[in-house]
Structure 1
Amino acid sequence: MNQRSSRPTRLHTGPPLAPSPAVFQAIANVSSMGDRFELGVGRVEVGWHPFTDLLTDADVLEQRIGDVAERLGTAEARVAASILFQKLASRLCSPLFGAAVAHGLLVELDPGRVHWQPAPDGVLPLRTTDLAGWEIRDPERTAEWLYHTVMPGLLEPLAEAVQGVVKIAPGLLWGNVASSLAGTARALARIRPDLAGATLGLVRELLDLGHLRDKGELAEPAPGHPFFVRRSCCLYYRAQDGRKCGDCALDDPGARRDRWARAVRESQGAR
């Protein structure tokens, strides 16, 4: 594998700025693909909280972790912290990944403009008051640019904040991000099979960058059907009604292969 720098890329030296209407339309289109891709855009009202509170206020973050722990029925804060981080990583990465693949746009989320809202299922909806985007005219650098739009300003500070309130291994957290990205790629390839090739190409490149490198392996037992096997565990199996996830490093390899084969057959209309 090529060793790549994890230093941020200055976007104004990269792709050309995209017209705002195109950026907003792209996010609206991607958001319609399903909950994991949803990102609200516009004015925030009562009930929405600054994303930066999760990064800078330990009491706010501990409350959110406590809420997830209660919902999961666990007394282990690290289990709840892991699941909260993974859900937020998916919410932050999925819309941007979808915009890059489906619309050729690199969309940047300014953490100062992002807000979250409590939800009964523990998955925090996100909303941003504004967006900026760039046209991708150099596809070979898409993964690098996308990585640097979500890591330095969003996920790295969030990981540091989580580790500040709960003792949890950084490799576990970055494994959660890798797993979330692989799940996003799988969902997008299923929704838009015409984009499966570009989707898999991008996620493979992302999984070879910085914190995501060596966090798991992406398999493709059938064309357009990606499955991820991570090298760490998100700890969900330790929740009250938890189980091993489909990409869990602790899962039996034979059972995993059977599950992959069944998923491929079902997606093709066979039983």
Structure 2
Amino acid sequence: MDLDPELAALRPLGGFFLLRVAGEPPRPLPTLAQTYAHLSSDVHGDPLTFRVRKVARALRAPEERIGASVAQQGLAARLWSAALGCAVLYGGLPDLDPRLLRWDPDGSAPDDLWLTEVRALPGDAATLAATVLDGHLEPLSAALRARHPVAPGLLRGNAASALAGAARQLERWAHAHRRPEAAARARALTAELLAHPLLADTGTRTDTPAGTAFRRRSCCLYYRVPGGGVCGDCCFTRPPRSSPHAPSG
């Protein structure tokens, strides 16, 4: 199945899977390539720092590194969802080169992404890994760590958690719409991706009737925001009390 110019097959999957490909953004927006490369300390000229501080304020987080973790996981979820959704439903994915994706750091969740051109790529696990992990999440991690004291294991745990979450949502949709082949392909691709060297030590994957289950070995720090608690795949079963520092994985 060829990619259509509007990637319309993603629309029924929900906002995390959607890529805007028609029209122009409402105002000039940075590309993700510019976002990853920018090291300015001026918050108005640094979209990544702007996003981290926006998320931290919204969560009432006591530390900016919590905002960095949550912001990174949100963007990872968007990228994995769009890429995995295309790979499953089309059998290929659009080129998500950071130079082709515009991003609104002041947008709401899920993050707004505009793809300026649809170029088809293969939909295999190796291409997914090269596109999302190598093309986005590693440079995003490096950019965040240049600004905030966030452990690399934590960020890779976030990347794996975001992938597993996208797979579960896609599998649920496939089962609800009687698309067992789509559910099976989502599960198989996710298994290959979670075995990638950058993700293999981040947690444990389990196949269940409800979809791909994942238990990570690190914590995203969400428990440290007021009323946050622990996430369903957290290494903790209850919020830690004695230490302000979560495992980094």
TM-score range, shorter chain: 0.7 to 0.9
Query: What secondary structure does 2:5 align onto?
Result: helix
Matched residues in 2 for 1:197 and 1:241: separation? 36
Aligned residue in 1 for 2:185: 198
Q: CA deviation at 1:122?
A: 4.6
Q: Percent identity?
A: 37
Compute the TM-score of the two structures, normalised by the length of structure 1: 0.78
1:200-220 alpha-carbon deviations (Å, 9 max, x no partner): 111011000021111111123
Alignment pair present for 1:149 and 2:148: no
Residue 111 (structure 1) aligns with: 98
The structural deviation recorded for 1:120 is 5.8
Q: Is the 8 A contact 1:78 1:167 kept in 2?
A: yes
Corresponding residue to 1:249 among 235, 239, 246: 235
Cα RMSD (Å) of the superposition? 1.9
- 2:99 is paired with a residue of what secondary structure? helix
Q: CA deviation at 1:89?
A: 0.7
Change (3 A) 1:23 1:211: farther
The offset of 1:159, in angstroms, is 0.8
Match of 2:213 in 1: 227
Asked whether 1:237 is paired with 2:223, we answer yes
Change (3 A) 1:65 1:176: same
Distance in 2, Cα, partners of 1:147 & 1:135: 11
Cα deviation, 1:114-171, whole Å, max 9, x if unaligned, reads: 11124564542111111211355xxxxx111210111222211111100010011101
Native 8 Å contact 1:41 1:127 kept in 2: yes
TM-superposed CA distance for 1:110, in Å, is: 1.8
Displacement of 1:48 after TM fit?
Answer: 4.4
Q: Tell me the residue number matched to 2:29.
A: 49
Amino acid at match of 1:241: G
Provide the rounded CA distance (Å) in 2 between the counterparts of 1:203 and 1:43.
Answer: 32
* Residues 230-239 or 123-132, more deviating: 123-132
- In 2: Cα distance, 1:32 partner to 1:210 partner: 32
Tell me how many residue pairs correspond in the alignment. 226
Supply the AA of the counterpart residue of 1:66: R
Look up the equivalent residue of 2:161 and give its one-letter code. Answer: S
| Residues 87 and 143 (structure 1), Cα distance of their counterparts in 2 relative to 1, 3 Å cut | same
Structure 2: segments with no counterpart, 5+ residues: 239-249
TM-score (norm 2): 0.84
Letter in 1 for 2:5: F
Residue 170 (structure 2) pairs with residue 188 (structure 1): yes
Distance in 2 separating the partners of 1:55 and 1:135:
25
Give how far 1:46 is off: 3.6
- 1:79-228 pair list within 5 angstroms: 79-119=66-106, 121-136=108-123, 142-193=124-175, 194=180, 195-221=182-208, 223-228=209-214
**Rounded Cα–Cα distance in structure 2 between residues aligned with 1:28 and 1:241:** 37
Alpha-carbon contact 2:50-2:105 (below 8 Å) kept: no
Distance 1:246 1:68 in 2: 21
Contact 1:93–1:150 (8 Å) recurs in 2? yes
Residue 32 of structure 1: how far off its partner (Å): 2.9
Stretch deviating more after TM superposition (31-40 or 174-183): 31-40
The offset of 1:62, in angstroms, is 1.5
Aligned residues of 1:81 and 1:166 also touching (Cα < 8 A): yes
Distance 1:33 1:107 in 2: 17
How far apart, CA to CA, are the structure 1 residues paired with 2:228 and 2:34?
A: 29
